[in-house]
Structure 1
Amino acid sequence: MLNIIKKGIMFNIVLYKRIYLHYQSIKSNSIMKLKLLLICFIGTLFSMQAQTSVKPTTLENTGTISGKITDKNTNEPLPYVNIVVKENNKVITGDITSDKGTFQIKNLALKDYIVEIQFMGYKTISKSAKLSQNNSINFNTIALEEDAVQLAGVEVVSEKSTIVQKIDRKIINVGKDLISAGATAGEIMNNIPSVSVDPQTNAISLRGNSNVRILIDGKPTTMDAAQVLQQIPSASIKQIELITNPSAKYNPEGMSGIINIVLNKNSKLGFNGSINNGVTFGKTPKVNSSLDLNYRSGKFNFFGNYGINHGKYSNNGFINSKELNNENTQIFDMNSKNTSHLAKLGFDFNINDKNTFSFYTNQNISQGKDFGNTKVDYVSSGTNDRFQLFDNKSENHSETYNFDYKLDFKKEGHNLELEVNYNKNDSPENALYTNVNGATNSFTNDVKTFGKNTIVNLDYVNPLSETTKLELGLESRNENTDNNLFLNDAYNSDFTYERTLYSAYATLGKQWKKWNFQAGARLEQYNVEALFRKVNEVDSKFEDDILSIYPSAFITFNPSENNSFNLNYSRRVDRPSISQVNPIREWSTPTIDSEGNPFLVPQFTNSFELNYTRKTKIGSITSGIFYRRIQDEITRVIFTNPNDSNRQIISYDNFDNNNAYGIEVSGNLDLKKWWSANVSFDAYNKKTKGTIEDTPGNYEFVEIDVTTFNARINNTFKATKDLRFQLFGMYRGRDLSLQFDRSPMWKMDIGTSYNVLKGSGTISARFSDILKTMRFAFDGERPYRTNGEFNWESRTVYLGFNYRFGSGKNKAAVRKQRDKNETQGGGGLL
């Protein structure tokens, strides 16, 4: 049944794309329009019927109709073809062909039927099926001939982004409204329900928690998540998946979940692609461009994309410190200039019907420069003011290579898959700090970082019956990172970090009437070894060895076609990332240093969710509640430098067991023919407790209880067939941690898009933060009273153009989605 549901969903996606293209080619023919609408209606009807088809039965007085559908010209199988079974011109039931073009309709009464094979762009074929004479009819191979009216040669990008709620994740299919919402992945994330991006650090959070994993095409990367988000062009994104409770098949992801960014990989027959160019006007122009290409012929599918971002950014702010006898104001003027290149290249080779080999590589190259100054004004006339200039140059080259082999057995859905993923990252950084009136005139801080990550997966899937599926798998991970610090061109320290992970999982899924069940467990062995060496100091070793089991369970109840309930549970872990444990100084100001804490231990979370989805005449609404119980929560902290009472250190620490619970409501609504809206609201309460520095040198136990509200609405107004306007608004409520109280944030954006070149091109424009209300403001009480505010180029104007070309029928290879189980952090001032 699950397979039928998936096929129904995929059928509608393919069908409506083809309908739109077909409509463009026949818009002058009213009769053809009417036929098109009828096919649309019938296709939708049977995709729904397939989801609620008759239960399996053992009665002997039933028959079966089966066959395979292919393209007459290419002889390739056609997936998602509509199979309609009629009796006396009355529709009885139907089915959708599989990825291999096959179909099988069971439990039919032993009568005479007419079977119609319908697919957009092809001529409809009718076949007679006399089950009264033979209770099993196999049509073997049926070849469909393309219709005389050819589909327009353009890949259609949906005007409106859609949200699909699945058993273990929420999938956002990126449309033109989201593409025009920002030039990079980081910029459009604030438009995604439950997701927030810190404007200061670009750190991403899910449901108010920053312990979230960022994956690219389901694969981890050794690069910092915030950096990755700023380097991916928005036009290169196909989907964004929010996995708040991963099943046992996936690594026991962190407290808040996984955000998986799926890049475009077009698999149409022939040659096709798209070009996207844009410029953002702030204090200085920032440009972004991307190119996506695909060529599919015979057994091969080649795909690739390339994107470049270049721009200069500015950020300024202040922090007032009320420390006794050391009151001061720090004024920050920060600028950055960055150029990044992101390329993906790969191919799929369909060796035969049973064997498929795939390969791709992601190459990421970036160069950046951060420069500016920090001024410290002391209230006391007895303390000299400080003025520091900084100039930080950094590079990054990240390479990912992925190999995948899949073996399909005779039974549909029965397969074995082997995947190997290798990633390496080289990130040198050279920083010069010049103190104009300090004890030290200047010093250099050069850090060389090299990391590599190898992942091997073996997955086995066996549909034990039409309603039961078993999944088994093994995984091996090995990650090595080496950091070296050179202070004033002389060796100072190095930190080597290696961790290995071996795991095995099993899940069992069962469909029974209107219920779907899935349960599983994952057993993991985790080992970490770290060594910190510093001149004139004794070497420090850190080791950890953990064997743990992570269960998960999902229950879905569909009382009717328009109502769905989902209850799920999982146990998860957040393992500290290299940036959170690395004791080598990350950055410095006249009064603050940032570094990691090698004594961090993993945090464990038990997470529960209950979701309800309701389909209405104007769209769908999903609401849910969640609860998390967190053990040894990893949190950002600030404390006095034990070696210099006039300086502070920003780092990480483990807090006590904490709780969080909340509600979420989101909707995709077509309010009028000309007005649609994506609306989301969430509220969560968190109770946090831990021991922190109350006053310099003194620590105390502190507990806080805070409720936070967030809301978003993205309106799309259709003025004409080709012209649309967008109005976006967001509100992020006050948030409280053990040390800081962040003020609310809100903004409004307006935008427009216009289709040109017969739908092949789109011109878009956006005016962000039109009221210039966005700012990051905070107050602090510990270890002493502080308040501050930071501003950036939030008010900008974006102009972009997207052009799509090529033709063909869709047929994409399916790829597994993986994840990484570590918390992210680093780089931020607070």
Structure 2
Amino acid sequence: MKQIAMLLSLLVCSTFPSVLSANDSEDKIGTVSGRVVDNAQNQPVAYAAIVIKSANGEETITGGITTEEGTFEIKKLAEGTYTLEVQFIGYQTYTKNLVISKKNRKVELGTITLMEDTQKLEEVEVVGERTTIEQRVDRKVINVGKDLTTAGATASDIMNNIPSVNVDSQTGDITLRGNSNVRVMVDGKLSNVPVAQLLRQIPSTSIKSIELITNPSAKYNPEGMSGIINIVLHKNANIGFNGNINMGLTKGIEAKFNTSVDLNYRNGKFNFYGNYGTNIGKWVNDGFIFRDDENSEQLFDFFNNNKSHLYKLGVDFYLNDKNTISFFTNQNHFNGKGDGITDVRYNEEESRNVIQFFNNVNDNLSEQYNFDYKLDFVKEGHNIELEVDYNRFNDDEDANFRSRGATLFPDYMDFVDTERTQTIANLDYVNPLDSISKLEIGLEARLFETDVDYASTGLSFNSNGDLIPTPSTEFIYGMDIYSAYVTFGQSRKKWSYQVGARLEDVQVKADTNRVRAFTDNYTQLYPSAFLTYNVNEKDQLQASFSRRVDRPGLGQVNPIREFATPLISSFGNPSLVPQFTNSYELNYTKRLKKGSLTAGIFYRTIEDEINRAVYVDRLDFNKLILTFDNFDNTSAYGFELSTNYRPAKWWSINGSFDLFSQTQRGITERLQGDQATATEADIVIEDVEVENTAWILRMNNSFTATKKLTFQVFGFYRGRNQNLQFTVKPMYFINTGARYSFAEGKGTLSLNFNDVFNTMRFAFDGDRPYVQNGEFNWESQNLYVGLSYRFGSGKNRAKGRKRRDNNTKQTGGGIL
């Protein structure tokens, strides 16, 4: 609704230039300014239309729109009497008489409160059904409408509908602009829960918006080469008792069930909220890899039975209008059971065939405790805030491996216990120095520690090639980060800018079996800069720069085996150093009569690139070892285009096109000659450089049949994609859906048929380190049925907690 409201405001303002010319010759000395808020939450109203009319209200003289902070300033008013109107869809028009004279040149109206217009809200409610995209100073905001929530049961399901974002449906790995070095936050906070697991646990109906912060300011932690994806959850803080319930069933080969309940009670100075969500289901995957050189193939079948439960309890205590104390806790419990078969077949030497059966049990618990205190000073927007967040993650995994056929290894079990703690303390100070300037200063301390214990009943080769009992390993990885930042911004007529810098001191240590294996201490400065130019009410240009860092993740540095098949093992590299990125962007936004258009280009220079290294196992030449390493500097660039257009009242279109290219460098090894007689001298080391150019096209069509019934068709196409090992073939699918509203809009019934033609699969060809091809499939074709119902009464009067640059940090409501 916000995007349409902004467009309507701009349409009102589009009449101003025609009448301005008639007054150009007059002595224009007057200025009128103020700030617009809503009566429900006392929050700024962005993009409200400010209209200056003649005293009788018949002629429009000039005007403008409010900023994202709700402020406005109309300049160059001639002496005289005027009528000021503030207009915003869903609110009653505010009217006030003004007098400009030589003695009263500057009129400051202070805070203007808009009252809700219930009748108009009912008339435009359908606008909120659609997903809209906003281009803000430092991010792109996708306001999630019900057309996206019908796309699937969880956050993972709808991410492929978001421009520039892609989720591997098989592994759950997420990429932004084709790069996996991205940080995922929920309400502005990092989680210890693995990202793939996290996305599959958040109900899609709990998501308010998704923020793509591709060039974060200095106020943000600099991790993530491609930026930050922040998932903002709904906040329900109405007066009285309120809540909503959501249920969904997905049926592919197996069934998956998800549900969530959000409850809220506010009375006087207290706001209590609680949430519960669960995701229960079974998942099936299969695939194969065929090697030409040996005329062999690996066949894979995987079956997972997972259950997750998420709880959240919180309270906001409003001491008075200036002081707020808040506390919440998240408890996230996950239990998964997996079974799999890897069948290795040599078509010309059946005596070498081997089958590996495995099953594993994975049980983890994530606990989060958050405290926040905010003090608002007398001046509007002037505040200081302290936040302390403690997160603990425990994971126990037991795996059983059994082999039949040509193998030297007896049956064995692996036991991996992981404990991870994270403590973050923030102190943030915000001071609007005047009507056009804002200063932000902050301090932060982040303390991380991970302890991984590994034990096995199996055998492994020692350096002499002898089979010995697999030794136990303990890996401890710690990182302490202390940082300070400052940002300063101003808005001057059509121009606005923000500059900032963040200074970090980082101390990293890694111990293997209580022996110090690696240390890395460094201090870095991360500058950022943003420049915005509003050409007119419909056209906006933006340029930005930031310096980023990719610190190696636990999976990249952990020397304990991550996974193993008869032919592949994967390990981390504790000696990895950070990867640094300088990121440049240029964006253009065009507001159309029936929609909007956003285009952007980006360029990144990358230092000490982290990428895959593929080696031949020196103890078994038929086996590969996958790990990570640092490589030479490289670069990446790309182009993005997204649009939303409404050709008719009953038809809306959201489309996007993403193109990105990056030079990837890495190391692969391959074996020359006959494997049976090969020695280490036959291993060829190749420094590989791959120029990967990929593109993604998305198109979503929504059709309104009646006020209660809508239909949706979504198409996705990802072009050929290349990495160091193989080339991924194009991927594409079509989804269809329908949504029906009932009970005066309080209830919604959704039905989706995903991957209608069953075309979605991961297929590839490769020649490093061997000539091979393969394909993996999952339950992409499925039927989803969802039911949502909200209840309660009362108007929303919640006091917002920390919101880093427009709602990045919020609490209350939602699952996490």
What TM-score do the two structures reach when normalised by structure 2?
0.87
Partner of 2:813: none
What CA distance in whole angstroms lies between the structure 2 residues aligned with 1:593 and 1:531? 22
Structure 2 residue 483 is the aligned partner of structure 1 residue 500: no
Partner of 2:745: 759
Are the equivalent residues in 2 in contact too, given 1:691–1:702 (CA < 8 A)? yes
Deviation at 1:290, TM superposition (A): 1.3
**Equivalent position SS for 1:187:** helix
Deviation at 1:473, TM superposition (A): 1.3
Question: 155, 159, 164: which one pairs with 1:189?
Answer: 159
Question: 437, 441, 444: which one pairs with 1:472?
Answer: 441
Q: Go from structure 1 to structure 2 and tell me whether the alpha carbon gap of 1:354 and 1:377 turns closer, same or farther (over 3 Å shift).
A: same
Question: 516, 535, 540: which one pairs with 1:564?
Answer: 540
Q: Deviations over 1:367-393 (max 9, x none)?
A: 101102111112453743111111110
Q: Go from structure 1 to structure 2 and tell me whether the alpha carbon gap of 1:101 and 1:797 turns closer, same or farther (over 3 Å shift).
A: closer
Structure 2 residue 259 is the aligned partner of structure 1 residue 289: yes
Question: 707, 714, 718: which one pairs with 2:704?
Answer: 718
Partner of 1:34: none
Q: Which amino acid aligns with 2:343?
A: K
**Equivalent position SS for 2:616:** strand
Are the equivalent residues in 1 in contact too, given 2:9–2:65 (CA < 8 A)? no
**Equivalent position SS for 1:167:** coil
Partner of 1:3: none
Are the equivalent residues in 2 in contact too, given 1:70–1:141 (CA < 8 A)? no
- Map 1:431-830 to 2 at 5 A: 431-437=399-405, 438-488=407-457, 492-533=472-513, 539=515, 541-695=517-671, 697-812=683-798, 813-817=800-804
Are the equivalent residues in 2 in contact too, given 1:715–1:727 (CA < 8 A)? yes
Q: Go from structure 1 to structure 2 and tell me whether the alpha carbon gap of 1:98 and 1:188 turns closer, same or farther (over 3 Å shift).
A: closer
Partner of 2:193: 223
Deviation at 1:601, TM superposition (A): 1.2
Are the equivalent residues in 2 in contact too, given 1:155–1:804 (CA < 8 A)? no
Are the equivalent residues in 1 in contact too, given 2:374–2:801 (CA < 8 A)? no
Are the equivalent residues in 2 in contact too, given 1:153–1:805 (CA < 8 A)? no
Moved more, 585-594 or 478-487: 585-594
Are the equivalent residues in 1 in contact too, given 2:289–2:775 (CA < 8 A)? yes
What CA distance in whole angstroms lies between the structure 1 residues aligned with 2:774 and 2:716? 22
Q: Go from structure 1 to structure 2 and tell me whether the alpha carbon gap of 1:125 and 1:312 turns closer, same or farther (over 3 Å shift).
A: closer
Question: 166, 169, 172: which one pairs with 2:136?
Answer: 166
**Equivalent position SS for 1:199:** coil
Are the equivalent residues in 2 in contact too, given 1:495–1:531 (CA < 8 A)? yes
Deviation at 1:155, TM superposition (A): 9.4
**Equivalent position SS for 1:190:** helix
What CA distance in whole angstroms lies between the structure 1 residues aligned with 2:388 and 2:787? 37
Q: Which amino acid aligns with 2:735?
A: D
Partner of 1:240: 210
- Map 1:39-54 to 2 at 5 A: 45=12
Question: 260, 277, 298: which one pairs with 1:307?
Answer: 277
Which consecutive residues of structure 2, in runs of 5 or more, have no partner in the other structure? 21-26, 459-469, 672-681, 807-816
What CA distance in whole angstroms lies between the structure 2 residues aligned with 1:659 and 1:780? 24
Partner of 2:679: none
User: Percent identity over the alignment?
Assistant: 51
Q: Go from structure 1 to structure 2 and tell me whether the alpha carbon gap of 1:182 and 1:817 turns closer, same or farther (over 3 Å shift).
A: farther
Partner of 2:169: 199
- Map 1:72-111 to 2 at 5 A: 80=45, 86=53, 87-89=55-57, 90=59, 111=80
Are the equivalent residues in 1 in contact too, given 2:752–2:783 (CA < 8 A)? yes
**Equivalent position SS for 2:137:** coil
Q: Deviations over 1:152-209 (max 9, x none)?
A: 7999892111111111111111111110001111111011111111122110011111
**Equivalent position SS for 2:128:** coil
Q: Go from structure 1 to structure 2 and tell me whether the alpha carbon gap of 1:95 and 1:79 turns closer, same or farther (over 3 Å shift).
A: farther
Q: Which amino acid aligns with 2:427?
A: L
What CA distance in whole angstroms lies between the structure 1 residues aligned with 2:290 and 2:437? 62
Q: Deviations over 1:659-689 (max 9, x none)?
A: 2112111101112211111101111222223
Q: Go from structure 1 to structure 2 and tell me whether the alpha carbon gap of 1:669 and 1:531 turns closer, same or farther (over 3 Å shift).
A: same
Are the equivalent residues in 1 in contact too, given 2:30–2:101 (CA < 8 A)? no
- Map 1:82-481 to 2 at 5 A: 86=53, 87-89=55-57, 90=59, 111-113=80-82, 135=104, 158-323=128-293, 327-381=295-349, 383-437=351-405, 438-481=407-450
Q: Deviations over 1:488-520 (max 9, x none)?
A: 299711100110011111112122221111111
Deviation at 1:41, TM superposition (A): 6.2
Moved more, 496-505 or 104-113: 104-113
What CA distance in whole angstroms lies between the structure 2 residues aligned with 1:183 and 1:480? 33
Q: Go from structure 1 to structure 2 and tell me whether the alpha carbon gap of 1:787 and 1:410 turns closer, same or farther (over 3 Å shift).
A: same
What CA distance in whole angstroms lies between the structure 1 residues aligned with 2:34 and 2:690? 63
Deviation at 1:88, TM superposition (A): 1.8
What TM-score do the two structures reach when normalised by structure 1?
0.85
Are the equivalent residues in 1 in contact too, given 2:614–2:667 (CA < 8 A)? no
Deviation at 1:129, TM superposition (A): 5.5
Deviation at 1:730, TM superposition (A): 0.6
Q: Which amino acid aligns with 1:479?
A: F
RMSD across aligned C-alpha pairs, in angstroms? 3.5
What CA distance in whole angstroms lies between the structure 1 residues aligned with 2:548 and 2:536? 32
Are the equivalent residues in 1 in contact too, given 2:528–2:545 (CA < 8 A)? yes
What CA distance in whole angstroms lies between the structure 1 residues aligned with 2:471 and 2:253? 39
Deviation at 1:753, TM superposition (A): 0.8
Q: Which amino acid aligns with 1:530?
A: A
Deviation at 1:298, TM superposition (A): 2.8
**Equivalent position SS for 1:226:** helix
Are the equivalent residues in 2 in contact too, given 1:155–1:807 (CA < 8 A)? no
Deviation at 1:527, TM superposition (A): 1.0
Q: Go from structure 1 to structure 2 and tell me whether the alpha carbon gap of 1:125 and 1:219 turns closer, same or farther (over 3 Å shift).
A: closer
Deviation at 1:784, TM superposition (A): 1.8
What CA distance in whole angstroms lies between the structure 2 residues aligned with 1:69 and 1:737? 50
Moved more, 452-461 or 591-600: 591-600
Q: Which amino acid aligns with 1:359?
A: F
Are the equivalent residues in 2 in contact too, given 1:79–1:811 (CA < 8 A)? no
Are the equivalent residues in 1 in contact too, given 2:509–2:516 (CA < 8 A)? no
What CA distance in whole angstroms lies between the structure 2 residues aligned with 1:358 and 1:770? 46
Are the equivalent residues in 1 in contact too, given 2:33–2:110 (CA < 8 A)? no
Are the equivalent residues in 1 in contact too, given 2:545–2:583 (CA < 8 A)? yes
Q: Go from structure 1 to structure 2 and tell me whether the alpha carbon gap of 1:141 and 1:632 turns closer, same or farther (over 3 Å shift).
A: closer
Q: Which amino acid aligns with 1:235?
A: T
Q: Which amino acid aligns with 2:492?
A: W
Are the equivalent residues in 1 in contact too, given 2:42–2:797 (CA < 8 A)? no
Deviation at 1:306, TM superposition (A): 2.1
What CA distance in whole angstroms lies between the structure 2 residues aligned with 1:787 and 1:124? 65
What CA distance in whole angstroms lies between the structure 2 residues aligned with 1:500 and 1:195? 30
Q: Deviations over 1:736-755 (max 9, x none)?
A: 11221111111111111111
Deviation at 1:713, TM superposition (A): 0.4
Q: Go from structure 1 to structure 2 and tell me whether the alpha carbon gap of 1:617 and 1:433 turns closer, same or farther (over 3 Å shift).
A: same
Q: Go from structure 1 to structure 2 and tell me whether the alpha carbon gap of 1:168 and 1:42 turns closer, same or farther (over 3 Å shift).
A: closer
Q: Which amino acid aligns with 1:736?
A: Q
